[in-house]
Amino acid sequence: MDILRSLGHPEEVFNLIKFKLGGCKSVMPSLDLVSMAPSLRTCYRYLNQTSRSFAAVIQALDGELRDAVCIFYLVLRALDTVEDDMTIPSAAKVPMLRDFHSFLYQHEWSYSLSNEKDRQVLEDFPTISLEFRKLAKIYRDVIGDICQRMGAGMAEVLQKKVGSMQEWDQYCHYVAGLVGIGLSRLFAASGLEDVVVGEDVALANSMGLFLQKTNIIRDYLEDTRDRREFWPQEAWSKYAGSLSDLARPENLCAAVGCLNELVTNALGHVPDVLTYLSRLRNQSVFNFCAIPQVMAIATLSACYNNPAVFGGVVKIRKGQAVTLMMDATSLASVRAMMLQYAQEIQRCIPPDDPSATQTRDIVLRIKAMSRAGASSSSSSGGGDSGDAQEEEEVNGRHQGTGFMSPLSLTMGMVLAALGWQYWATVQGVAAKYLQGL
């Protein structure tokens, strides 16, 4: 069942969780669907139907940024649906990808031959493009530019397998880094964030690459079964004759070595993630950015040195996901979570792993940044997202072997008071985040 579709207003639950545990000073208002134009209301319905990760946090964004990001997401979802549809011949798909940005200004353009599950965003693209054209020019310029660059990039890599590590970065840039860059420019254009957030392309790119590489690592089995190869050949060729050979039982030891190498590479983006988050000042933007990032590092920790990646999809626990969602509302808390998972990975590094030295180096860097940031926040008596007392509480909360701490008991008491309906709702929203990572 599509839990977001059945809930109607998943952002209300998301805000309620944060409010009950002190993440926000007040509950953010829910969407005023009644006063919306029918076409915009339809766009939010499509958002809830197609977004596996971001529906709740998009709808919790402040002001006009919310509509801009909603339309940005749907435009890129439509573009990605074209790219994913293997029934569209390359001769038709390549020019469609390259020209897709122009369809934003063609009032009647739509595509009705897709077999993908999200085909409604192509079939009813006129509704999405209508709302795009209603946005302020500053938002339209960003969305149109990113759509054009992403479409060109997708067309370029459409028939190429990912070879070198550099090509892996390039592929992830086209499909995710550009999203991070576009979002950052939208944040700055809205006035909710400083101009530097939209100008620092390298940090924004890392935000996208960290999420995309986590997706690729975790989804090894599903992708190889669909004959899609996203793990870079430069890495897997050291350990097996073909990418699919990594899943053979006799190759699991070598496969884990390849897995650890890619996790280590992905972890290299965490310092940029922490720097990026430290620059954000708007609470709704911070939540939007921070939650997927802590979900990603939790997923990487679960995948690291874990042969189960080659036998299925490794997932973090739903209860753990709920706690991450509730806690990722301050920089102090995010630093503590990054530190926690870095320590978990450090404890699992095999002495004879081919990437052991590199893994230790990046883990130590993450730990140093997390601790240095915490010390700076404490000594300044404020700043970032909390004071010294908050820092102490957060560090205490996240020490130990896991996240099922006294906070979980508090969560249970709160949810019990709210009723079992809210408990089912929270689990559903958390499950959506897990599926989308």
228 is an active site residue? yes
Q: For residue 71, what are its two tokens?
A: 């339309």
Q: DSSP per residue over 354-373, as a string?
A: TTHHHHHHHHHHHHHHHHHH
Cα distance between residue 333 and residue 320, in whole Å:
15
Is residue 426 within 8 Å of 318, Cβ to Cβ? no
Cα distance between residue 198 and residue 146, in whole Å:
13
* Buried/exposed 266-281: b ≥16 CB within 10 Å, e otherwise: bbbbbbbbbebbbbbe
Q: Which of 185, 218, 335, 397 is catalytic?
A: 218
Is residue 270 within 8 Å of 339, Cβ to Cβ? no
The 3-state DSSP class for residue 296 equals helix
Q: For residue 150, what are its two tokens?
A: 């992403």
Q: Which of 54, 171, 276, 403 is catalytic?
A: 171
Per DSSP, 238 falls in state: T
- C-alpha distances (whole Å) from 234 to each of 107, 241, 249, 371 are 44, 12, 22, 34
What amino acid occupies position 428?
G
Q: Where are the alpha helices (DSSP H) in 51-176?
A: 55-59, 65-84, 90-99, 120-123, 125-134, 137-157, 165-172
Is residue 323 within 8 Å of 336, Cβ to Cβ? no
Q: How far is CA 256 from the centre of its chain?
A: 24
Dihedral sign for Cα atoms in the order 435, 334, 170, 199? positive
218 is an active site residue? yes
Per DSSP, 310 falls in state: G
Q: What is the dihedral of CA 86, 90, 91, 95, to 10 degrees?
A: 100
The angle subtended at Cα 172 by Cα 236 and Cα 153, nearest 5°, is 120
* Buried/exposed 179-196: b ≥16 CB within 10 Å, e otherwise: bbbbbbbbbbbbebbeee
288 is an active site residue? yes
Closest alpha carbon to 323 in 27, 26, 21? 21
Q: Which of 52, 228, 279, 317 is catalytic?
A: 228
Q: Which of 276, 288, 310, 341 is catalytic?
A: 288
For the annotated catalytic residues, the residue numbers are 171, 218, 228, 288
